[in-house]
Structure 1
Amino acid sequence: MKKMWSGRFSGESSRLLEEFNASIGFDKNLYREDIAGSKAHAKMLGACGILKQNEAEAIIKGLDGVLAEIESGKFEFKIEDEDIHMSVEKRLSEIIGKELGGRLHTARSRNDQVALDFRLFVLRSGKEIMAELRAFIATLANIAKSHKDTLMPGFTHLQHAQPVSLAYHLMAYAFMFRRDFERFASSVERNNLSPLGSAALAGTPHKIDRDMTARELGFKGATQNAMDSVSDRDFALEILFNISVLMTHASRLCEELILWSSQEFGFVTISDTYSTGSSIMPQKKNPDVAELIRGKTGRVNGNLIALLTVMKGLPLAYNKDMQEDKEGVFDSVHTALTSVHILNEMLKEAKFNEQNMLKVTKKGHLSATDLADYLVREKNVPFRTAHFITGKAVAYAENLGVDLSELTGEQLASIDESLSADAVKFLDLNASKEARSSKGGTANASVQVQIDEIESWLKF
């Protein structure tokens, strides 16, 4: 079959080359973006007098016909057409005639076409992920509102550290995922420029209007340097990085949900809707959704590293290596969208076991720091000395087989002359939580400020 670029070639391409060279198997996903770009380009060529107005209108109508065929499933993608650009142009020429169809490619190259299509896809995908993130953050804040008084241990080194509320713990994730949202928003803003009209690498002698096509496609403007425009894949790297960070955060939450759903913790019960069973052990209820998200994080990290590696040694401008940019992005975008969506739905149905959380909070001497702070604040004891005295109190409680919070005033007073019976009120676990009222703390008032901040942000 004769290629559109075959003028200087005397021989046919081998089938092996066609299969190795073709990207139509995956870049057909860009058909909407490719046709939108071609329609904007045709409209601009007509407005600039490069095409007659009736020619531009006929091309646009023909492109609408191609779009309809693809979306109805009638369009046949062929490997010999190489990519989505050639496939669309070939079918367009069959519909409106080869001569008129051939005029569409005036003042552009496949280099700026693919840069445009891919950029449009990435921008759209970034906004879709942002929408999923916004919904998920709202769920976290909504659950938090009901659990400001639900005590649980806060951890460092996966060891019991200080008492916090479940609301506080969930709001930590809400702010984490808000940062993810902001990263996507920043990338969308920064990369919202059209490369169309850059042609192969050096611009075009045709008197085109790149700002017009940028407006038609919803960009805020056109890129400034044609060589950079066709070789730039920063926007793809950014969305891959953003997804990797997002999935890392999701993986951390999933790791906790996996631990919390175990018999050893018993903090949360994941609904049957989002759990699976064992083929051999009838009693099993497995948190597969959380485990899959944790696993898929490695997958998206691999996609980021793969594209970084492809791009690291490429001279300007376009190189065929860059055909390897899309599959990883398509995969990571799909993974992020589905992962955040199902994580949101799973969390909505999860049941938090407040009594189990409270029971475990009474282990590990979580109010020890409060006792040290009492000695500093009320007894004017240097903190290092207070730390040592509190350590003695912890050892005393452990010898009795009780938690520090369960000691009586008389028992405390017997440990060290700096301690008096009134110190017992500072060991209450809820009082410990409420004492941390500094900005960003776990006290109810502070957590409510955090919830209000997120809910106010969600309104915009």
Structure 2
Amino acid sequence: MAKKTVSDYLDSTEIDRLMLEEDIWGNKAHAIMLARQKIISSDDLRQILSWLEKALEDYRAGKFKLDKDAEDIHMNVEKYITCGAGIEYGGKLHTARSRNDQVLVDTKMYSRERVLDLLESMISLCQELLKTAGKHAATVMPGYTHTQHAQPISFGFWGSGYASMFIRDIERLGEAYARINTNPLGACALSGTSFPIDREMTSQLLGFDAVHEHALDVTSSRDFVAEVLSCMAIFMSNLSRLANDLVLLTTHEFGMVSLHKSHVTGSSIMPQKRNPDIAEVIRGKTGEVYGNLIHVLTISKGIPHGYSRDLQEVKGPLFRAFDTVESSADMLGQMISKMTVNEERAAELAGGDFACATELADFLVREKKMPFRKAHATVKKVVGELIESKKGFECIEDVAGLLKKQGVNVSIYDMGILDAKNAMDAHNSVGGTSKDEVCRMAALLSAKLSDHEQLLVGRRRKIDSARGLTDSLCRAVIEGESINEMAI
């Protein structure tokens, strides 16, 4: 293997190329601001914007070739402008700016789009889970603690539970967006500039919500990267739990869910296999996202205040995590939308293994005025004797007889409480498993999702509006209008 040169080792063009359109947009906004503030002339601006437009066209046509000797996309774009327009024009583009703030502009603009894309996928996954909740609000299944039968729940309760969990992930990431979408441009290397720049103007042209003011903090800040990665790591952990549920529920032993044929794979030797490989890979990729977070935290922990080249390395972990997490959410959403619930098998399992024991104890408290601890011990003894005789709660006469041995007289007609569906519906407390309560919670969660969708739409609209404003100003200047006569 050939040894790397210094330029090879320092090269970041491969990861940077993802942000090239953001870099060009940032350059346009910066140049417009410079001309508006009379730091460069109108003729300078026209030449710079003309060549930035050509750079964008060439990039989209696959003709813009990145030179690794230029180190990064920022210098590649500036080199393109300078070679095209001449240094007397292109050489003015970097006035009142540093690569330190420029790279943050690109990273933040690229990241905010990826965050919105991810939020869209997260919302879509929750919507699929809530569709399941609505369809199966009365479909009884066993609930588990310690991976053992606990109490009867419904598939709707299960699905809406994950939706409730993921909405917190949406909230976390949505809050992180606000800290991403602040404008670093104008901080320069670390101390601002003596030129009369207008940072509010570039914020408007680039769709930022506010100026990130403190120049030293700006250029050394990558906590927004760690925050977004932390949000993604938590979400990926939760996705892994859902994936693991699907792995278990689709086994022959559980048999409560069947995945669509497009979401399973076969075996190289066993013709019958329907492996839940997507869910398994999601579990595996969770560790990758954890690693991305630890990578960034480790980079950041020992850097002195101010920019250091170490910070170049945070982009790779962040961008790879975006790809992994978004695709994982998309895959799970598709799997949920096409999976089949085996209602008969779920009902068969729901009442097994004495899952209604707590309901029997509650009945003794409610109807026989027994202290709960005594009721608990009484039912525990009944369960133990039934296990010894290899019987279950379906043998209601035996249950009544065993209770009578302990001095508790119950009618076999009271034994309807041992029906799993009845037990599930009886839990109508706030947040409980009854059909009405599941439907109420699902409606509330759907309303929350609608609010998040509206927020997402508004944020996209603001970005699109800023891009449209920058592009319209750019076209007008190229066609001969004066930037100083335009409304911004």
Where do residues 2-151 of structure 1 align in structure 2 (5 Å cutoff)? Answer: 16-151=5-140
Letter paired with 1:199: C
Cα deviation per residue 1:133-192 (whole Å; 9 max; x = unaligned)?
A: 111111110111110111111000000000000100111100111111111110112332
Where do residues 414-429 of structure 1 align in structure 2 (5 Å cutoff)? Answer: 414-421=404-411, 422-429=413-420
Which residue of 2 is the match for residue 351 of structure 1?
340
Worse overlay, 33-42 or 422-431: 422-431
Change beyond 3 A, Cα 1:23–1:398: same
Letter paired with 1:451: A
Q: What TM-score comes out, normalization by structure 2 length?
A: 0.89
Which residue of 2 is the match for residue 332 of structure 1?
321
Which residue of 2 is the match for residue 241 of structure 1?
230
Which SS does the other structure have where 1:80 is aligned? helix
Q: Which whole-Å CA distance do the structure 1 matches of 2:16 and 2:436 have between them? A: 52
Instruction: Find 2:426's aligned residue among 414, 418, 435.
Output: 435
Which residue of 2 is the match for residue 277 of structure 1?
266
Q: Which whole-Å CA distance do the structure 2 matches of 1:260 and 1:228 have between them? A: 49
Where do residues 213-252 of structure 1 align in structure 2 (5 Å cutoff)? Answer: 213-252=202-241
Flag the structure with more relative contact order, 1 or 2, with Cα contacts below 8 A and sequence separation at least 6.
Answer: 2
Worse overlay, 90-99 or 44-53: 90-99
Conserved 8 A contact 1:184-1:242: yes
Q: Which whole-Å CA distance do the structure 2 matches of 1:273 and 1:253 have between them? A: 18
Which residue of 2 is the match for residue 444 of structure 1?
435
Conserved 8 A contact 1:375-1:419: no
Worse overlay, 294-303 or 22-31: 22-31
Conserved 8 A contact 2:351-2:419: no
Q: Which whole-Å CA distance do the structure 2 matches of 1:340 and 1:182 have between them? A: 16
Q: Which whole-Å CA distance do the structure 1 matches of 2:395 and 2:127 have between them? A: 38
Letter paired with 1:435: A
Change beyond 3 A, Cα 1:194–1:356: same
Count, aligned residues: 447
Letter paired with 2:410: S
Q: CA deviation at 1:425?
A: 2.5
Cα deviation per residue 1:52-79 (whole Å; 9 max; x = unaligned)?
A: 1232132122111111111111111111
CA RMSD, aligned part only?
1.4
Unaligned runs of 5+ in 1: 1-13
Q: CA deviation at 1:85?
A: 0.2
Q: Which whole-Å CA distance do the structure 2 matches of 1:89 and 1:443 have between them? A: 64
Which SS does the other structure have where 1:163 is aligned? strand
Q: CA deviation at 1:116?
A: 1.1
Q: CA deviation at 1:381?
A: 1.2
Where do residues 314-329 of structure 1 align in structure 2 (5 Å cutoff)? Answer: 314-329=303-318
Q: CA deviation at 1:412?
A: 4.9
Which residue of 2 is the match for residue 11 of structure 1?
none
Cα deviation per residue 1:204-254 (whole Å; 9 max; x = unaligned)?
A: 000000110011100111112000001101111111111111111110000
Letter paired with 2:75: M
Q: Identity across aligned pairs (percent)?
A: 38
Q: CA deviation at 1:25?
A: 1.9
Letter paired with 2:368: K
Alignment pair present for 1:459 and 2:459: no
Q: Which whole-Å CA distance do the structure 2 matches of 1:449 and 1:364 have between them? A: 30
Q: CA deviation at 1:336?
A: 1.1
Q: CA deviation at 1:419?
A: 4.0
Which SS does the other structure have where 2:185 is aligned? coil
Where do residues 370-385 of structure 1 align in structure 2 (5 Å cutoff)? Answer: 370-385=359-374
Q: Which whole-Å CA distance do the structure 2 matches of 1:402 and 1:95 have between them? A: 87
Letter paired with 1:425: G
Which residue of 2 is the match for residue 177 of structure 1?
166
Which SS does the other structure have where 2:5 is aligned? helix
Conserved 8 A contact 1:371-1:423: no
Q: Which whole-Å CA distance do the structure 2 matches of 1:118 and 1:406 have between them? A: 66
Which SS does the other structure have where 1:104 is aligned? coil
Letter paired with 2:249: W
Q: Which whole-Å CA distance do the structure 1 matches of 2:429 and 2:68 have between them? A: 63
Q: CA deviation at 1:90?
A: 0.5
Conserved 8 A contact 2:33-2:198: yes
Worse overlay, 403-412 or 264-273: 403-412
Cα deviation per residue 1:369-400 (whole Å; 9 max; x = unaligned)?
A: 01111111111211111110000111232234
Conserved 8 A contact 1:372-1:387: yes
Cα deviation per residue 1:253-289 (whole Å; 9 max; x = unaligned)?
A: 0001001111111111111111111111111111111
Conserved 8 A contact 1:112-1:230: yes
